[in-house]
Structure 1
Amino acid sequence: MDGVGGVNGRTGRTALVTGASRGIGRAIAARLAADGAEVVVHYGSDAAGAAGTVEAIERAGGTAHAVRAELGVDGDAETLLAGVAERLSGRPLDILVNNAAAAPAGPLGTTSRAEFDRLFAVNVRAPYFIVEQALPLLPDGGRIITISSVATRMANPAQTSFAMTKAAVETMSRTLANQLGARGITVNAVAPGATRTEANGDVFEVPGLAARITGATALDRLGSADDVADVVAFLASDAARWITGQVVDASGGLFLGPRS
């Protein structure tokens, strides 16, 4: 079986990608659509960006729909999955990609309690309850993939609270993999490293930053959104049917050790 086509005898799988209005989420949505999935593009506030993702998918011959839901607030998962169910018109949801996340809030001593709570509400609570709300739509053999971060295996004081949230969803993925395995549902996480996208390109323009990162990366370059999207597409495919409960590092080998 190639790509994401076919499950339980059906062709034309369906997917939900959260935070798909730009960056890695947009690349994931486009990649799954290129593999034949009908994609629901979630966004929180960037309606124009989500429309751009849908337009790009349709221009390439795919099918996509945009659904808005603010994450990190009461009822967020319910609102999102109600919109998904409406777009799918009774069809199952084969692939769930939890990509949306709040950005790092800063090191210890600089993050307010409100910022900390918001980070956990968006990065941990929302994915957990999105999975809960999505389960009735997921068929046996479905896929759940959550985007984590290489920050979980690195000691970066500027990202302590952010790394904590990503460690939480990695644990969630392992435990849900054990719980849902009897239904053939695989649950995995993907951990990107330094990834340049159209949304964060300015960050890497800081003098010397890109050189320092590539110098500490085994594959000697910054990552791209497509690099991560290809890993997600593999985990969503039938070829990854025997992989579950894993965190797949998609960092190009960032900080594996001294390179010389």
Structure 2
Amino acid sequence: MTKAHTIEGKVVLIAGGAKNLGGLIARDLAEHGAKAVVIHYNTQASKADAEATAAAVEKAGAKAHVIQADLTTAGAVAKLFEDAVAAAGRPDIAINTVGKVLKKPMVDISEAEYDEMTAVNSKAAFFFLKEAGKHVNDNGKVCTLVTSLLGAFTPFYSSYAGTKAPVEHFTRAAAKEFGARGISVTAVGPGPMDTSFFYPAEGADAVAYHKTAAALSPFSKTGLTDIEDVVPFLRHLVSDGWWITGQTILINGGYTTK
């Protein structure tokens, strides 16, 4: 692995880095030698989690910086990158884990709900990629979290998977446009994860189904996708897996496939 494709000494920006998968990614990359990790969180409700993650990052030997922002406007995303650069320097690795789930029949989804889902899952992702293209260093790595439901034929998630789906093309386009600078751009689609993000949207029957739906469910701690099993793949994509670009990788133990 060349120095350009290691994590050691690199500056990392993680949108949605306070807790769950984003928080574990922040800790993991710090433990693998990142110089600085910028941890974004959305609202005051996540502030304590962001600070706890920052403390863990510092304990691992990296500098931690915490930034709050609602990323549903282009200006807010631009300011996040500007603030991150001011705090830690230009990022080498930019990861967007921001997302919102809504499980609801299509006929019951309001225009306001659709607009909110689009703002969080599509618009924020687009402008994160745009700003990454402007601010990430040459030979950098950019990754966006999507969902394994992009490989599913299922009801009730139209506004969730549907507003994550454009990120696949955003990823391909960004990979082409940024490739001349050695920047790789990927998307990662985990299966339903054992986190606080998953359970509020699901009833008991659905939770029970998801815990048995993956081919490897019997070998998971919970039957779901454990975040500890996702992080090594993402670490690979933002380091020596740089040759993978423009692709969406489903990491789900055989929950869905394309």
Does the pair score TM above 0.5? yes
- 2: distance between equivalents of 1:73 and 1:151? 25
Which amino acid is the alignment partner of residue 54 of structure 1? Answer: A
2:57 corresponding residue in structure 1: 57
Classify 1:65/1:168 alpha carbon distance in 2 versus 1 (closer, same or farther; 3 Å): same
Which amino acid is the alignment partner of residue 227 of structure 1? Answer: D
1:66 corresponding residue in structure 2: 66
1:123 corresponding residue in structure 2: 121
Match of 1:219 among 186, 193, 216: 216
- 2: distance between equivalents of 1:118 and 1:22? 21
Contact residue 76 and residue 126 of structure 1 kept, 8 A: no
2:23 corresponding residue in structure 1: 26
Contact residue 28 and residue 226 of structure 1 kept, 8 A: no
Which amino acid is the alignment partner of residue 35 of structure 1? Answer: H
Classify 1:64/1:243 alpha carbon distance in 2 versus 1 (closer, same or farther; 3 Å): same
2:247 corresponding residue in structure 1: 246
Gaps of 5+ in 1: none
The DSSP-based 3-state class of the residue aligned with 1:212 is: helix
- 2: distance between equivalents of 1:122 and 1:233? 24
Gaps of 5+ in 2: 218-222
2:144 corresponding residue in structure 1: 146
Contact residue 105 and residue 115 of structure 1 kept, 8 A: no
Classify 1:253/1:139 alpha carbon distance in 2 versus 1 (closer, same or farther; 3 Å): same
1:206 Cα deviation from its structure 2 partner: 5.3
- 2: distance between equivalents of 1:58 and 1:159? 38
1:70 Cα deviation from its structure 2 partner: 0.8
- TM-score, normalised to structure 2, is 0.88
- TM-score, normalised to structure 1, is 0.87
1:214 Cα deviation from its structure 2 partner: 3.5
Contact residue 123 and residue 166 of structure 1 kept, 8 A: yes
Contact residue 36 and residue 62 of structure 1 kept, 8 A: yes
Q: Residue 82 in 1 paired to residue 82 in 2?
A: yes
1:76 Cα deviation from its structure 2 partner: 1.5
Q: Percent identity?
A: 33
Contact residue 186 and residue 248 of structure 2 kept, 8 A: yes
How does 1:98-177 map onto structure 2 within 5 Å?
98-104=96-102, 106-177=104-175
2:191 corresponding residue in structure 1: 193
- 1: distance between equivalents of 2:10 and 2:162? 33
- 2: distance between equivalents of 1:103 and 1:227? 21
1:182 corresponding residue in structure 2: 180
CA RMSD of aligned residues (A): 2.4
Which amino acid is the alignment partner of residue 228 of structure 1? Answer: V
Contact residue 186 and residue 245 of structure 1 kept, 8 A: yes
Which amino acid is the alignment partner of residue 231 of structure 2? Answer: A
Contact residue 204 and residue 210 of structure 1 kept, 8 A: no
1:204 Cα deviation from its structure 2 partner: 9.8
Q: Residue 35 in 1 paired to residue 32 in 2?
A: yes
Q: How many residues align?
A: 250
Match of 1:14 among 4, 8, 11: 11
